[in-house]
Amino acid sequence: MADTQVTQDNQDPIFQIQRVYLKEASLEQPNSPAILLDPEQPTVDIQLGVNATPVAEGVYEVMVTATVQTKIKDKTVFLVEATQAGIFELRNLPPEQMGPIMGIACPQIVYPYLRGNVADLIQRGGFPPVHLSEINFQAMYEQQQAAQAAPAEATA
C-alpha cells in the first residue's frame, strides 16, 4: 500500500520556483555628458521579450528581457538591457498546459523583479526611474501564438 501511495504522489502536478535571479543587466550612456545638458524631453522606447529553455528533465529557465532606450532626436540618452530569469520545476503537467505556464504564469512571477531592477539601474545611472507598466502576459502569449499560427496557415 505504501508503494501505491508513493506512485500516486510521483504523478502529482509540480509547479515550483527554484530561483529568481538577474541574469544580465547593462546601462549605456554613449552621448554623456553633452546630451545631459540638452533641455529637450527624450522619447522612451520599451521592448519586452519572453524566452523559456529546458535546463534539465522537468526544469526550465524562463527569462523576461526588457530593453529601454531613451533618445533626443537621433542620439541615445541611455540604453538599458536587462534579463531577469527564473528556474522553475514543472512536472506531471498536461502538455497543453506547458506553453501557457511558461509563457504566462512564470513571466508573471519574474517580471516584478525585472521592473525593480530596471528602475534601480536607471536611477543609479543618474536619471529619473522609468517604471515599466504592468504587462498582460496572457494577451502577449496569445498574440505570439497567433503570429506563429499565421505563417503556418499561409503556407498550407
The domain segmentation of the chain, as residue ranges, is 17-143
**Inter-residue contact 61 to 86 (CB < 8 Å):** yes
> What does the pLDDT look like over 109-119, one tens digit per residue?
999 999 999 99
φ, ψ of residue 38 in degrees (nearest 5) = -75, 120
What's the grid cell of residue 145?
501564438
> What does the pLDDT look like over 81-99, one tens digit per residue?
999 999 999 999 999 999 9
* CA atoms of 111 and 128, how far apart (whole Å): 20
> What does the pLDDT look like over 39-48, one tens digit per residue?
999 999 999 9
pTM of structure: 0.85
Fold category of 17-143 in CATH: Bacterial Protein-export protein SecB (3.10.420)
Q: Using alpha carbons, select from 88, 81, 70, 87 the residue that is nearest to residue 117.
A: 81
